[in-house]
A and B are shown apart, each in its own frame.
Chain A
Amino acid sequence: MSRHQFIRNLDYQDAVDEYEGYSEEEDELSPEDRALMNQGTADVQAALGVEASKVTVAQIEEALWHYYYDVDKTVAYLKSKFINPRPKTTKPAGQPPIGKSVICAVGPAEEALLYELGIHAGWAGDGPDMTDATSSPSLIRPRNAMPLCELSGRSAQGETALAALITFSSESRAGVSHYFRDMPWGNIPKDRETTFVPPLRPRGGLLGGSSAQPKMSKLQALAAARKKKAEEKSAGQDNVEQTRTKMTELSVGDAPSANAKLPVPENGKAPLAGPFGKRLKTSESTAEGRSPVIDSEPTRSGLSQPLSGTVKEPNNEPVVEKAQQSAFAQTLFGPSGDVFQRPLQESYSLYADLPSSVLDAFSRPSPDDVVLAAQAKAGKKTAAAQPKKGPPSTGAMTAEVKELKIDDAPLPKSRNLDVLSEFEKSQKKKNASFVVVGHVDAGKSTMMGRLLLDLKVIDQRTVDKLRKEAETMGKSSFALAWVLDQRLEERSRGVTIDIATNRFETDRTVFTILDAPGHRDFIPNMIAGASQADFAILVIDASTGAFESGLKGQTREHSLLIRSMGVSRIIVAVNKLDTVAWSEERFNEIKDQVSGFLTATGFQQKNIAFVPVSGLHGDNLVRRSSDPAASWYTGPTLVDELENSEPNARALEKPLRMSISEVYRTMQSPVTVSGRLDAGSLQMGDALLVQPSGEKAYVKSLQVDDAPAEWAVAGQNVVLHLTHIDPIHVRVGDIICDPAKPIPRADTFTMKALAFDFLMPMQVDVHRGRLHTAGRIDGITGILDKVTGAVTKKKPKIVKPAQVARIVVKLESHVPLEAGQRVVLRSGGLTVAAGLLE
């Protein structure tokens, strides 16, 4: 490693962080990796939100590198480790098993060896413990704290050394218990106590993260290879001499005095300057557990040249050790800084000449000690059994990870707003929705397309594009209708099939358009639209013949339906008046007839308004007609009339009810529902109940009128992103309600129905908003007086049109029903009755 690189790292890294060693790799990131890293960092910060300030960029990057840019895992890890760190009670027990620690300790020596052997990357698979050790990329970097001996690596011996190392590590496990046989538990003689620090390196995997056994990932292997290359390049020949002198210094300080402090008798026996392989063989036979750690220190005399550059660093700059621990390090190695500091001081007094990092290495109990202490605490378990503890601990880790995963998708947090007061406070515009009804081909969709164009909700360019498309299909007059008719079928057939919703704002009100289909086959869809509307626009085709056929057809049925759905305000748009030269006479004729039958239907005269319009050209929609022939009309335009209409009172205080009109997938949630709040209010984080499935769901986020919002109240059209529910439980026509006050489910209900046709026990289709199910009239309880509601005839055989009767309806399936809901009964394609549930 080059010096300048190291210094650069020092800028933002502290001593412990160096054990990670990752940061250096980062500098050697390829541009793609860098890009990924930047991207990932941004993502993580975004995901963390406000809490992003609690972690540094470096920490994020580090974690990202570990998780190979997996943002979710990184976030989970960062949250668990830095933002809401758990109390680390299990930490001592979680110390690396013996075998591992041994390897860790020997690590740098091996490393040196391995660099020479050039087999570092390939070594990863040799044994589980080995893998653990090597998986830490810190191995790749020479440990600057380690005194390096003159042992010049000889590749020939290296091979055997390696083999010895492997066997050694496995034997040493069994040896530990043997070593402690003669001493009482928890009362280890001073002379046997070690005080040196375990090599501070991560266990291989990250603590809070992946559940996988720590092992060298491909990425890490790659990083190692890169690192090695870089080192080979950067190693300067001129450093060699300097290093040698330092080495000698180190070894001098090492041999005798270290033994005093680190009183492992085998230490001395270890052939300090001997060939690596030989030394290991000796220690294998004699040394127990931790001894190789010490062994290796003095014998690391002849580190190969590539390493020499770094060796200098710590000597010159002990600052590294004094640096504050990073949060990451604290979580890894315990939060207390003084554990680190105290032994450091002692060491200084003893070995003033030593680089502090060396002392550091011995200033804490050896890993074995820690392990044994933990074992002693845990119970009388043999050291040999220790390695077997591995899997359970991984199990615990997986459990932890699982917990994290749950945390990953936490229940949406509610802000517990008082929605109603929020609603009062907000100076929002009024919300109103209106349904556009009328006979098929009366020009409903075209008129709404024109309205949206004139109100600049859509731009001329869109319409021009649609016009071009329409012309290619030979339907140029449909261009405006295509603004709302977006389905392929609707366009190719030139009819509206399903309700289209769109939105526009005036100065005072936000209007939702519900463009209903006029064709009789799609009346179920029209009913769905009408159930969401506050008022209605009835479009009437004024052209000769069309009005008359419409009056017989859906003009009548639609007005009956919207009245029975509870709409009381109706604006009659007499359309296509341009085709009859804006004839006032025609307008008045239509007006007379229509108002006659609308009042008969139950609309009050004051709630009916008539506007002569041309939907295709836009006369009297937003702007007044410029046609001189239409100058006789001086009343308000259609939009004026809309503004004059007061939406129905909202049932804000009632329990939540929302009829689902659409279910679909979005980026935010696989279960996104839209519809209109019929009653009550909701806010982000609320628990909801979906009926009839009876499943609970939570509001992850919501939109009101296509804009993100935190709450919604009755009357608003909302889009809810639900969590914690399977999509199969949510269907169009279902009702979302308050879990505390759920809507009941029933398959039989009694209703007070106004008959439009003969009613007798027969099969009917039952419509309630989007809900559409089959059922049958099970019985007719009685015919009621229209005004008083008193029973005039019990158990009639048949109900005649225009009579009001109390009937019992049985459904094929259980559906959410509640008293006061408006229900329409249809049979054979005709509306036969409508009424209120009792």
Chain B
Amino acid sequence: MRFASKRQTLQGIDEDAGVSLLIVEPEDMWHANNLISAGDVIRAPAFRKVTMTTATGSTVAKGVHTKLSIKVKSTFFDPLASELKVSGTVVNENEWVSVGQHHTITLKYEKADITFTIWKSHGWDSVATQTLKEALSEDRPEAIAAVVMQEGLANICLITDFRTIVKQRIESAIPKKRSSAKDASGGMAAFYEKTLSNLRNAIDFSIPRTLLLASPGFVAQDFRTYIQSEAARTGDKTLQRIAKEAVVVHSSTGHVHSLNEVLKSPEVKRTMHDTKFTIETNLMDEFYDRLRKDDGRAWYGTKPVEKAIAEGAVGRGGGVLLVNNGFFRSMEIATRKKYVGLVDKVKEDGGEVRLLSSDHESGKRLEALGGIAAILTYPIYDLDEDDEEDEGGEADVNNPAKESAVL
């Protein structure tokens, strides 16, 4: 995403004039999804079907391209198509629509430059600014393709900086071994063939792209051998390159969540250090490690984290607040303000704030913990004991938060 105007800067955001943004790649729609929340006003090109009554009384329906400003009621993001549908009511009248009519604008990346303007209903708070900053960063590595597989199951994923997209899931029945049957290899060959053809369809290999093959046992290795032999057999140059560059990694299963293991494996770290998701994966690992050690520095859930932050325990010298970005996406303004306040407090105290993408595996892990977790600067042991005393209250506060995290 880019600012539409060259003069616009992150610092000089004029709340009244709004921020105009240019969509430059499909991934931008994911950022837009994080940026746009209910209550905001969006001005974007829209296509509307209008019915006109002629002088004689007959009606003619036609579609018109126009620019509409709507006040957002809800958003829907389609991760596979990278499309964002923004629904709301029209706020600026024009010759086709009147105020108050409903409209859904579909934002997506197209060849022609598309810009949209956004007015935040509650101003550009720190979270919104950080999201925008991330969205604007142009230095982005190419997305990584990964196949997480086990016998009879393969998940073809595309790992971008901000999300993991499962492009295809392949299941195939592999004959198990019986004393009478000797031919499980036939089933595996068919499985590899299916996986490879799906992989080539799902992911564009015309640009150089890292391919990770992960599996328990020998499946990934055999799959790579299969690609190699296929490349040799067909003389396909692209396939040869894919086979050459594919990295085989061990994972304990073929399920998507094994990507966590994949992303922290030394093979992957060597090829891609410092990408956003490796950092996030490492942070989550650190958090889990501390939780295991029960050293009093790792806490999760809204209440304990809130308390820890209030005490200033998430600050300079190792304090990290981990929040799922999905957490902010569809939250009531009051709740949002509370969490933004937490984020600001941590920043003030000199701690680190990480907005983990809920579309990444690390974000999913955080989601399991309730969407918010913190590594404290110093240990506090009794944070959850208070919880139990006012359990009823905790449930009330936690549950909506959890729900929104799930959303």
Contact = CB atoms under 8 A, between A and B. Distances in A.
A664 B177 CA distance: 10
Given A664-B181, A760-B369, A826 B252 contact: yes
B255 A521 contact: no
Interface in A733-785: 758, 760-763, 765, 772-774, 776-778
Nearest to B261: A828
A481 B365 CA distance: 41
A662 B291 contact: no
B217 A828 contact: no
A360 interface: no
A794 interface: yes
A829 B252 contact: yes
A521 B388 contact: no
Contacts of B294: 798, 800
B307 to A, nearest CB: 13
B216 A794 contact: no
Contacts of A307: none
Interface in A790-838: 794-798, 800, 812, 826, 828-830
How big is the A interface, by class? Answer: 35 or more
Contacts of B288: 760, 762
A760 B291 contact: yes
A732 B151 CA distance: 12
Contacts of B175: 662, 664
A486 interface: yes
Interface in B207-258: 216-218, 222, 250, 252-253, 255-257
A674 B368 CA distance: 37
Contacts of B292: 758, 798
In this complex, the member of B250, B294, B368, B369 whose beta carbon has the largest number of chain A beta carbons within 10 angstroms is: B368
A500 B177 contact: yes
B388 A794 contact: yes
B364 interface: yes
A569 interface: no
A502 interface: yes
Contact of B216 (A500, A761, A812, A829): A829
In this complex, the member of A487, A663, A674 whose beta carbon has the largest number of chain B beta carbons within 10 angstroms is: A487
A828 B184 CA distance: 27
B344 interface: no
A761 B299 CA distance: 12
A522 B216 contact: yes
A159 B250 CA distance: 86
Nearest to B153: A772
B217 A487 contact: no
B359 interface: no
Given A489-B218, A795-B388, A795-B391, A763 B364 contact: yes
B300 A777 contact: no
9 A-B pairs with least C-beta separation: A829-B252, A774-B255, A521-B216, A763-B257, A761-B368, A521-B217, A662-B176, A758-B292, A488-B185
Interface of A: 486-489, 493, 497-502, 519, 521-522, 524, 661-664, 674, 731-732, 758, 760-763, 765, 772-774, 776-778, 794-798, 800, 812, 826, 828-830
Given A498-B184, A499-B176, 17 more contacts: A487-B182, A488-B184, A500-B177, A500-B179, A502-B179, A522-B217, A662-B178, A664-B176, A731-B173, A762-B365, A762-B368, A774-B255, A776-B368, A777-B368, A797-B304, A829-B253, A830-B252
Interface of B: 173, 175-179, 181-182, 184-185, 216-218, 222, 250, 252-253, 255-257, 260-261, 288, 291-292, 294, 299-301, 304, 364-365, 368-370, 384, 387-388, 391
22 contacts: A487-B185, A488-B185, A497-B218, A499-B176, A519-B217, A522-B216, A664-B175, A732-B176, A758-B292, A760-B288, A760-B300, A761-B300, A762-B365, A765-B255, A774-B255, A778-B368, A797-B384, A812-B255, A826-B253, A829-B216, A829-B252, A830-B252
